[in-house]
Structure 1
Amino acid sequence: MVRGRLWRRSNPALSDERRAALVADLMDARRAVGSAGRTGDAEAVTAARARVHAAKVALGERGPPWWDDGAPDLNRHMARNTPYAEWFAALEASNSPP
């Protein structure tokens, strides 16, 4: 969760080696987005963003859910607007200063 928004984690069934390779691909693609953006190459930005998306799908952070327990995919939803609202409120309360 980031700033109250739920984000999907990587598929825990991936091996450590596969996850590391995919994360390296993702970081390379993100660097390519930045580099292409600095040079103003719109086609290269588009291609690099496609690489970012492909890496995130392979990691399980986007695309079809990797879990099979029937839980909904609430990726990118605000926690307060989901079935996790009560949990999130308690989490916020426990992290607030006294």
Structure 2
Amino acid sequence: MNVVDREQDSPAEPADSERWLTIGGRRWRRTDPSLPDDLVRALKSHLGRGRSGVRSAKLKNDDGATASARVRVGLAKRGLGERGPYWWDEPEETRLERARDALRQLEALDSAN
């Protein structure tokens, strides 16, 4: 089997530009592109609320609220594939289940408050 045949038999690896985003010289992991749009929207909504919560809690010097908001940010980012295991190293089904689980945990936080 030559190199061309092996390349056709294996799934395409994402390019670095699909894995990473560079802002101000700092490299950030991109959202897993295999996740359904509705799931990404929901997780990003929680991410935005978490970031806003961190900002507000820090202004009030409320360490407990800051920690709680950071939990929300962390769950959302893991669900999106931006933290935790590299999404490109795992099967798509595993990544999808992690995202769904993160969303369930985030929704549970809402119902607990």
TM-score of Structure 1 vs Structure 2, range by shorter chain: 0.5 to 0.7
Alpha-carbon distance, 1:4 to partner: 2.5
Higher relative contact order (CA 8 A, sep 6+): 1
The within-5 A match list for 1:32-51 is 32-51=53-72
> Could you report, residue by residue, the CA deviation over 1:19-60 in whole angstroms, capped at 9, with x for unpaired residues?
000000000011111111121111110111111111101000
Return the match for 2:49 from 11, 21, 28.
Answer: 28
Provide the rounded CA distance (Å) in 1 between the counterparts of 2:51 and 2:42: 14
Question: TM (normalized to structure 2)?
Answer: 0.57
TM-score by length of 1: 0.65
Q: Which amino acid in 2 is paired with 1:68?
A: D
CA separation in 2, counterparts of 1:59 and 1:17? 12
- Asked whether 1:15 is paired with 2:36, we answer yes
Q: How many residues align?
A: 69
Root-mean-square deviation (CA, aligned residues, Å) is 1.4
Indicate the residue corresponding to 1:66 in structure 2: 87
User: Which 4+ residue blocks in structure 1 deviate beyond 3 angstroms?
Assistant: none
Structure number with higher helix proportion: 2
Tell me the distance in 1 between the aligned counterparts of 2:76 and 2:39.
Answer: 11
Q: Give identity over the alignment, percent.
A: 46
**Whose strand proportion is higher, 1 or 2?**
2
